[in-house]
Structure 1
Amino acid sequence: MRAIDALAGLLTAALALNGGIGSARGQTSAPATPSVGTVAAERKPISKSLDFVGRIEGVEKVEVRARVVGFLEDVLFKEGDVVEPGAPLYKIEQAQYQAEVQKAEGAIDISQAANALAIIQLQRAEDLVAKNAGTVVARDQARAQKQQTEGSILSDEANLKTAQTNLGYTDIKSPIRGRIGRTAVTKGNVVGPDSGVLTTIVSQDPMYVVFPVSQREFLKSAQAGKRPDPKSIKVRLRFADDSLYDQLGQIDFVDVSVDRGTDTLLVRARIPNPAGALTDGQFVRVALEAGQPQEKVVVPQAALIADQAGVYVFAVEDGKAVTKRVKLGGDAGVDAIVEEGLSGGEQIIVEGLQTVRQGAPVRASPARASAKGM
């Protein structure tokens, strides 16, 4: 009997132990409700826009070159500074060109003296002919001599202007206001027309943004019967880090022919640059906005998920994650414009998407600010 009682006790303990293990397994297998961060789908006034890639260009850009040959005596600017019109940039040795000016001035004096003598001789020849004491041939020769000396004066005056011009070229000055680049030559070098570009000056305010527009976009506008006035189109710029430039531009030129290689038309806009944030040669994203803004639903691009059926987002309804299929209408900065699928106000999941399943319960809370623009 004792053996039977002992065996029954062991069986009872084993069954109790198995029951405890089963209970523990049941407790650990129950999935926890995932936490998610949400933002509300907003309705915002959005202007219809077309996006392009453009390049910044200076309105005025000058390549400074030497126009006479000579020894470079001095470089008179600091690289990177803004220079004014007429500011001295380089100084070339002047002695040779000053001598050329003096030589030309001396030649004029000689020509004028010869011309004065020719005038006197012509007058005498005419007087002798009038008194029948001289020949017509002598008078004509005196007249020709006077015309020759007058021509010499004109030639020498032209040589003087050339010499003076060359002397002026020894002082190289800025023709425009703008920021000056690095110098390609330093003091002590011999420079001349064959030396290439000495430095470059680029005007700073305003600037141009130049961008190609495909024929497809122009055809769309034509088919829709929309020919907006270029002056009514707002030009916005966005930098490589996706930050928005704080000035608006205006289209001022559309090329007259299509590039046959790229099938695009070149468009140019003028845009203010008071703080110098735009730099010649810089790549930017260009957004053209026309017409009155229309109210659209926007959601953070971080909320978008794509599959074979298209694009969707997860919204929270009654404590559960619900799939919302959406049709997009472009970008609005870090947000995406939703044309169909949302009406605004829905709580859209942007954090914890990796743990979300259709119809599964979720614990929603406002998303962190950094998560909205991921």
Structure 2
Amino acid sequence: MRLSTFAAPLAVVLLAAAVALPPHPASAQEPAATRVGTVPAEKQPINPAQEFVGRIEAVERVSVRARITGFLQEVLFKEGDSIKEGAVLYRIEPEPFQAAVQQARGSLVRAKGVVVNATGQLGRAETLLNKQSGSIADRDKRLAEEQMAKGDELVAEANLQTANINLGYTEIKAPISGLIGRTSVTKGNVVGPDSGILTTIVSQDPMYVTIPVSQREFLQLEGDRRRAGGAGLTANLRFSDGSVYEYPGVFNFVDVSVDRATDGVLVRASVPNPKGQLIDGQLVKVSIEANKPEEKILVPQSALIADQQGVYVFIVEDGKAAVRRLKIGGASGPDAIVESGLEGGEQVIVEGVEALRPGAPVVASPAAKTPGRS
């Protein structure tokens, strides 16, 4: 009875002590799971693109010059107009050249007459020689005279041909179709071969875009072409205001030598220009893509984290955050192209990565769709 009386107060004391004990240390508790947003690492067909600065060049470009000297009688085109091949652009005063043609024609007639006379004299000399009434020396003299007369006839024919050619040059015609520039001379001036360029004509459709690329960029382009199964590369143009040109170009030429000053290679694409939007000498941005899409893994660029070892992302693996080191091969819109590090199908963490550590427990849910991502 005395023992039970003593035990009751002891039980009260032990109970109070148990209530007063501190809780377990925080280190002994499991860390709380972090809520994160994820997107799947998806394989998608893409055309990897590289962007360069290129210059528009006309396929044909002609500097129009005078080939004879004379007074300019007419200018027969409007500056900036589209012209057809063979159109008369300038007319040089033709009368002096017409007179030269007549003079050359008269010289030819005279030369032909001399040939006829020389041939007749040779025939008579041979007849006399056959009858033993003439000498061999006289026959040889007449033969030489005939040959000289025929030579003069050939010279006269050539002079007549030259005179006709010069007369034809009094009309300066367009050698190609295209747009014509401003004229450097007006009528009444004397023009000639020393007058320099009278005007310039550039063809319009198609146009070339030439792009200087470095050796490294060139090798990368060649690699893109090979990976695309030998398919050609497409050039998509963008103007300085950011607008996109609607007609893509196709590469058709790589320079045969490397520029030793820049260690670069010049590549060229042919671009349709049916509306005349492209202008000779214009600078444009050129995005080069393979014609055949490639299957690549894409992840949002917002998921990428960089440190001294390179680029990595967090993925969800068995309910925890795991690190995957990546090799990035460029961009496709808001996404990064993954060359290695992911197999496809992994849940990549894009939201809530700020406080994550490898191995931290996570609760994953689909992230909001990134604008511009399919």
Q: TM-score, normalised by structure 1?
A: 0.70
Choose 1 or 2 for highest CA Rg: 2
* Residue number in structure 2 paired with 1:315: none
* Residue number in structure 2 paired with 1:200: 200
Structure 1 regions of 5+ residues with no counterpart?
1-39, 313-325, 350-357, 360-364
* Residue number in structure 2 paired with 1:67: 67
* Residue number in structure 2 paired with 1:218: 218
Which one-letter code corresponds to 1:270 in the other structure?
S
* Residue number in structure 2 paired with 1:124: 124
Which one-letter code corresponds to 2:293 in the other structure?
Q
For the aligned residues, what is the CA RMSD?
3.8
CA contact (8 A) 2:331 2:337 kept: no
Q: Which 4+ stretches in 1 moved above 2 angstroms?
A: 40-46, 217-231, 293-299, 303-312, 326-332, 335-341, 343-346
CA contact (8 A) 2:65 2:197 kept: yes
Structure 2 distance, partners of 1:223, 1:331, is 17
Structure 2 distance, partners of 1:172, 1:207, is 25
Distance 1:233 1:223, change over 3 A: closer
Query: Is 1:292 aligned with 2:290?
Result: no
Question: Any residues of structure 2 matched to 1:198-347 within 5 Å, and which?
Answer: 198-220=198-220, 226=226, 232-290=232-290, 291-294=292-295, 330=330, 335-339=333-337
Partner-residue secondary structure (3-state), 1:338: strand
Partner-residue secondary structure (3-state), 1:183: coil
Aligned length: 304
Report the CA distance between 1:53 and its aligned residue. Answer: 1.2
Which one-letter code corresponds to 2:138 in the other structure?
A
* Residue number in structure 1 paired with 2:46: 46
Partner-residue secondary structure (3-state), 2:293: strand
Distance 1:286 1:296, change over 3 A: farther
CA contact (8 A) 2:228 2:293 kept: no
Report the CA distance between 1:229 and its aligned residue. Answer: 7.4
| Deviates most, 43-52 or 204-213 | 43-52
Report the CA distance between 1:54 and its aligned residue. Answer: 0.8
Distance 1:80 1:305, change over 3 A: farther
Deviation string, structure 1 residues 263-321 (Cα, Å, up to 9, x no partner)? 0111111111111111100111112212314466587x9x9999999999xxxxxxxxx
Deviation string, structure 1 residues 220-272 (Cα, Å, up to 9, x no partner)? 46789947677521121111122211112111111111000010111111111
Which one-letter code corresponds to 2:160 in the other structure?
L
CA contact (8 A) 1:255 1:266 kept: yes
Report the CA distance between 1:328 and its aligned residue. Answer: 7.0
Structure 1 distance, partners of 2:241, 2:296, is 27
| Deviates most, 283-292 or 68-77 | 283-292
Distance 1:330 1:208, change over 3 A: same
* Residue number in structure 2 paired with 1:88: 88
Structure 1 distance, partners of 2:225, 2:74, is 61
CA contact (8 A) 2:101 2:163 kept: yes
Report the CA distance between 1:100 and its aligned residue. Answer: 1.1
Which one-letter code corresponds to 1:126 in the other structure?
E
Distance 1:280 1:148, change over 3 A: same
Which one-letter code corresponds to 1:292 in the other structure?
P
Query: Is 1:144 aligned with 2:122?
Result: no
Structure 1 distance, partners of 2:198, 2:99, is 26
Structure 1 distance, partners of 2:206, 2:40, is 38
Structure 1 distance, partners of 2:84, 2:224, is 48
Report the CA distance between 1:189 and its aligned residue. Answer: 1.1
Structure 1 distance, partners of 2:83, 2:346, is 54
Query: Is 1:167 aligned with 2:182?
Result: no
Partner-residue secondary structure (3-state), 2:159: helix
Which one-letter code corresponds to 2:335 in the other structure?
I
Structure 2 distance, partners of 1:69, 1:42, is 74
Which one-letter code corresponds to 1:177 in the other structure?
S
* Residue number in structure 1 paired with 2:31: none
Deviation string, structure 1 residues 313-333 (Cα, Å, up to 9, x no partner)? xxxxxxxxxxxxx9975455x
Which one-letter code corresponds to 1:57 in the other structure?
E
User: Percent identity, aligned pairs only?
Assistant: 49
Partner-residue secondary structure (3-state), 1:269: strand
CA contact (8 A) 1:329 1:336 kept: no
CA contact (8 A) 1:296 1:337 kept: no
Structure 2 distance, partners of 1:84, 1:293, is 44
Which one-letter code corresponds to 1:243 in the other structure?
S
CA contact (8 A) 1:179 1:204 kept: yes
Q: TM-score, normalised by structure 2?
A: 0.70
Which one-letter code corresponds to 1:77 in the other structure?
F
